[in-house]
């Protein structure tokens, strides 16, 4: 699974939406979290211009005036969302894990206003009680890391916004077959052939001798 989060500083520009679409396609994202959309409503046409609307679902928070706004969009072919929760500063989705362990993903966009900070932290505290240890700009708990031990976080190239997109990739890295290495000095050991015969006969495997 690949998740991209990005503070896009507005989705009003057609050129910016095209750049976001290129990033989503090139990153192979399954879920995208866009902060500061500056949009009062996320409609199907807008989602289509960002990612294509087929097999896509989303949950969003509207912007207030020309500030804020948050949307979480996912590909239904690769992500199974069981439920969602929308707050004033966050959007959370509960996903069905392939290994049978369900987990929550939360996208957060906090206000810079002093008066809203108390409400913001209260909301995060309530999310902690609901979801348990959670992701927060790709900070994660040790329990989550145990499930996704191969997760990698990458800062992608910054374009059109003064924030870098961040990619969380939980797919296992495929490095290809490991090379076979052997120290030739063992061939000179006096008991090597005898021990090797014993080791060989102890092993049980299927396939040809080079397996």
- The 10s digit of each residue's pLDDT in 103-142 is 888 898 887 777 788 888 888 888 776 665 564 457 677 7
* Pairing mode of beta strands 2-7, 31-35: parallel
CA dihedral for 20, 11, 165, 79, sign (positive or negative): negative
| Closest to 90 measured CA to CA, from 63, 124, 116, 114 | 124
pLDDT value at residue 133: 53
The pLDDT of residue 69 is: 92
Q: Domain map of the chain by residue range?
A: 2-169
pLDDT tens-digit series, residues 73-108: 999 999 999 999 999 999 999 988 777 788 888 898
172 vs 187, more confident:
187
Sign of CA dihedral 88, 77, 177, 149: positive
Kindly report the pTM of this predicted structure: 0.67
Does 36 appear as a known binding residue? yes
Is the domain covering 2-169 a CATH 3.60.10.10 domain? Answer: yes
- Mean pLDDT value across the chain: 83
CB 70 within 8 A of CB 34: yes
pLDDT for position 135: 44
Q: Is 7 annotated as a binding residue?
A: yes
The answer to which of 24-38, 94-108, 136-150 has the lowest mean pLDDT is 136-150
**What phi, psi does 75 have (nearest 5°)?**
-90, 115
């Amino acid at each position: 699974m690949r998740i991209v989060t990005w503070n896009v500083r507005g989705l009003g520009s057609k050129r910016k939406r095209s750049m976001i679409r290129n990033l989503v396609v090139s990153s192979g994202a399954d879920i995208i979290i866009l902060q500061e959309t500056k949009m009062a409503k996320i409609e199907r046409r807008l989602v289509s211009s960002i990612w294509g609307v087929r097999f896509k679902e989303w949950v969003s928070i509207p912007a207030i005036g020309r500030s804020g706004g948050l949307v979480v969009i996912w590909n239904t072919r690769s992500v199974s969302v069981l439920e969602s929760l929308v707050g004033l500063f966050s959007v959370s989705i509960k996903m069905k894990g392939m290994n049978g362990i369900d987990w929550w993903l939360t996208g957060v966009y906090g206000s810079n206003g002093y008066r809203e900070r108390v409400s913001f932290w209260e909301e995060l505290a309530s999310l902690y009680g609901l979801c348990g240890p959670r992701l927060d700009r790709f900070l994660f708990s040790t329990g989550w890391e145990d499930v996704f031990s191969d997760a990698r976080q990458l800062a992608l190239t910054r374009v059109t916004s003064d924030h870098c997109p961040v990619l969380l990739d939980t797919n296992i890295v495929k490095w290809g077959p490991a090379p076979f290495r052997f120290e030739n000095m063992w061939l000179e050991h006096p008991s090597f052939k005898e021990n090797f015969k014993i080791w060989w006969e102890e092993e049980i495997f299927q396939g040809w001798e080079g397996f």
